[in-house]
Amino acid sequence: MIVVVAPGQGSQTPGFLAPWLEDPAVRDRVAAWSDAIGVDLVAHGTTSDADTIRDTALAQPLIVAAGLVTADALLADGRRTLVGGVAGHSVGEFTAAAIAGVLAPSDAVALVAERGRAMADAATRTPTGMSAVLGGDQEALPAAIEAAGLSAANHNGGGQTVVAGRVEALAAFAAEPPAKARVVPLSVAGAFHTDFMAPAVDRVAPLAAAASVADPTLPIWTNADGSRVDDGRRFVDLMVRQIANPVHWDAVMDSFVAAGVTGIVELAPAGALVGLAKRAMRGTPAVAVKSPEDLPAAIDLLESAGAAA
């Protein structure tokens, strides 16, 4: 059973969309999304620098667009039938929702563009950010995070937790990290998945409620608690609430194990989720599809699972 996963914000790098746009049909599709949302995804995915695409309003639709074009290539020629399920990390849930048929791709891009703008605006109200905490005593970590005045925003598993809060609190936490832990600032511009994002929830919720939604045609797991969701409207509601609530990717990976997942394919801009799986799901084959050159290995993994079935 192979699952397809979509990464979240912070995974983008300059030019990461360029190799995908060499296909004229893909370039036209991304250009159409750009026109629809008023963001030049083609330019930002090819020539913009790291500081530019760090902007939440740009990064989020870029990441979802990249995931969708990767999924199209991966699942072409009937290979969608070989997929055992999908999940996305944070903004990657919009990619997963489109792949599973919960949202039309154009609606997913439009909604995530507004999500990005709303979260960027919410982030301007107070200087905040996020940092990854690597290693350390996982049982003692929650108390240390609370004592620092921070919140655990992403429970990523594999010994990684992302904390979020005011920039001065993050700096103090990094200066005196928990024992045996390393604190790494992330390239994001706000305290996502915390109460600081409540204004963004209020802004996105009406648009999500008005969107056309269908029940998933592939198994899909939610970041809220790692459970599988069979109701499309509930999944969209959970995605909106997730803007100001923690991501439980550790629970998603636990669900993968319980479901008998035997392999993982991560969509572009890939790498982060495969890295987490290597630590939390040891021995599970995983392929990160960063460019079209990685597609053959991912297709082989999918087709091997189909042959085994």
Secondary structure of 160-183 in the HEC alphabet? EEEEEEEHHHHHHHHHCCCCCEEE
Structure tokens at 198: 């409540």
Annotated catalytic residue within 44, 89, 155, 193:
193
Answer yes or no: 89 catalytic.
no
CB 236 within 8 A of CB 211: yes
| 135: phi then psi, degrees, rounded to nearest 5 | 80, -160
Answer yes or no: 248 catalytic.
no
Annotated catalytic residue within 11, 48, 90, 131:
90
Q: What strand order describes the sheet that includes 263-266?
A: 83-88, 2-6, 263-266, 286-288
47 C-beta neighbours (distance < 10 Å), count? 12
Q: Which residues face 228 on adjacent strands?
A: 221
Which has the closest alpha carbon to 154: 143, 162, 166? 162
Residue appearing with tokens 């030019």: 15
CB 154 within 8 A of CB 161: yes
Q: Residue type at 281?
A: M
Q: Which residues face 87 on adjacent strands?
A: 5
**Active-site positions?**
90, 193
